[in-house]
């Protein structure tokens, strides 16, 4: 299959990844021989992939995690709002994949005109409780936005789920003002943790993640669609230490992503089999492994090899 990014036909297989939620089906991670873009094969079509989102992302109340973690989520969302404010102090914002609208809710309070796309009707209902927000439940591609309307558009962990990221980013280009800013974050496939843990890396999330970007391939995608990168960093307190911890547990032979399942309100993993002993062992190991994970996440980010790539980009003039 031709590469999404460069069109080259040849790729090499890296390793297999397991679908941990529903089956023991394996997918392959492949790397383009020309531009190094990494993607999963086969990519499930929209009908097949739907059940993976319905079951494990967020529950009916819109909450994704149990209460302890939910409190931390609040702090993470605030830090996203702060990052946006570094580049734009006011204006019109669109958050694609806005969930319950926490980030744009904070910005609306500060005077922004805030729009959000959220595919799940149930979760969109939560976002709509904030009357200041304009929420769309159609696919981002189908909403009729005015050209050059937004001052800022954000994609937090969205692009890796998109079938055709190039067309997606081109559409963003069209609806962003000339001096607008695109902010996006994706898992970093060239991070230390991804390289070390390979198939056991938490953020592979097969088969939901179609594409795995490095700073090189993400930069190329943005350049090819008319953007210049203004700011790029890889440290994430939200995604870094936890994913080292979960990947360590995966490598030690525990059920894949079990700890993550334990933190979530509803998880298909926990429904599969009785895991009492594994759960107990996991809890006992957490204090020790957490220290290792924090130190690891700190150092990888220090050397620009952190768990995520967060980018702010502007249109080329």
Q: Which residues bind Zn ion (CB under 5 A)?
A: 3, 5-6, 8, 32, 34-35, 37
CB of 10 to Zn ion, least distance (A): 9
CB of 169 to Zn ion, least distance (A): 16
CB of 210 to Zn ion, least distance (A): 14
Q: Which of 189/312 has CB closer to Zn ion?
A: 189
Strands (E), 67-193: 92-96, 113-117, 133-136, 150-156, 176-187
Q: Which of 39/234 has CB closer to Zn ion?
A: 39
Q: Which of 41/90 has CB closer to Zn ion?
A: 41
Distance CA(140)–CA(68), nearest Å, equals: 32
Residue environment code for 273-297, b if the CB has 16+ CB neighbours within 10 A, otherwise e? eebeebbeebeebeeebeeebbebb
Q: Which of 8/299 has CB closer to Zn ion?
A: 8
Non-local (6+) Cβ contacts of 40 within 8 A are: 17, 27, 28, 29, 30, 206, 207, 209, 210, 211, 212
Both tokens assigned to 154: 């954000």
CB of 32 to Zn ion, least distance (A): 3
Q: Which of 10/146 has CB closer to Zn ion?
A: 10
| Beta-bridge mates of residue 182 | 153, 313
Distance CA(209)–CA(52), nearest Å, equals: 11
CB of 3 to Zn ion, least distance (A): 3
CB of 221 to Zn ion, least distance (A): 10
The sign of the torsion formed by the CA atoms of 197, 199, 202, 204 equals positive
Q: Which of 5/249 has CB closer to Zn ion?
A: 5
The helix (H) or strand (E) run that includes residue 105 is helix 102-109
């Amino acid at each position: 299959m031709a590469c999404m990014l460069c069109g080259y036909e040849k790729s090499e297989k890296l390793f297999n990844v397991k679908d941990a939620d529903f089956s023991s089906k394996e997918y392959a991670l492949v790397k383009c021989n020309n531009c190094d873009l990494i993607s999963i094969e086969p990519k499930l079509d929209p009908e097949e992939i739907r059940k993976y989102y319905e079951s494990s992302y967020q529950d009916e109340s819109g909450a994704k995690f149990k209460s302890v973690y939910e409190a931390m989520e609040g702090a993470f969302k605030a830090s996203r709002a702060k990052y946006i404010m570094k580049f734009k102090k006011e204006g019109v914002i669109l958050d694609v994949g806005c969930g319950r609208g926490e980030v744009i809710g904070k910005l609306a309070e500060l005077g922004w005109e805030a729009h959000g796309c959220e595919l799940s009707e149930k979760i969109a209902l939560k976002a709509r409780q904030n009357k200041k927000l304009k929420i769309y439940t159609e696919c981002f591609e189908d909403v009729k936005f005015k050209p050059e309307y937004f001052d800022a558009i954000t994609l937090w962990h969205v692009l890796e789920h998109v079938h055709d990221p190039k067309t997606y980013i081109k559409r963003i280009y069209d609806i962003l003002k000339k001096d607008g800013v695109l902010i996006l974050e994706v898992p970093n496939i060239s991070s230390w943790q991804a390289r070390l843990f390979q198939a056991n890396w938490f953020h592979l999330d097969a088969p939901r993640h179609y594409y795995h970007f490095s700073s090189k391939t993400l930069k190329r995608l943005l350049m090819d669609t008319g953007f210049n990168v203004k700011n790029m960093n890889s440290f994430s307190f939200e995604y870094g230490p936890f994913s080292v911890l979960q990947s360590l547990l995966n490598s030690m032979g525990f059920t894949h992503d079990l700890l993550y399942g334990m933190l979530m309100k509803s998880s298909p993993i926990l429904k599969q089999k009785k895991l009492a002993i594994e759960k107990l062992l996991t809890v006992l190991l957490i204090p020790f492994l957490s220290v290792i994970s924090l130190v690891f996440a700190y150092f990888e980010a220090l050397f620009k090899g952190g768990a995520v790539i967060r980018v702010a980009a502007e249109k080329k003039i």
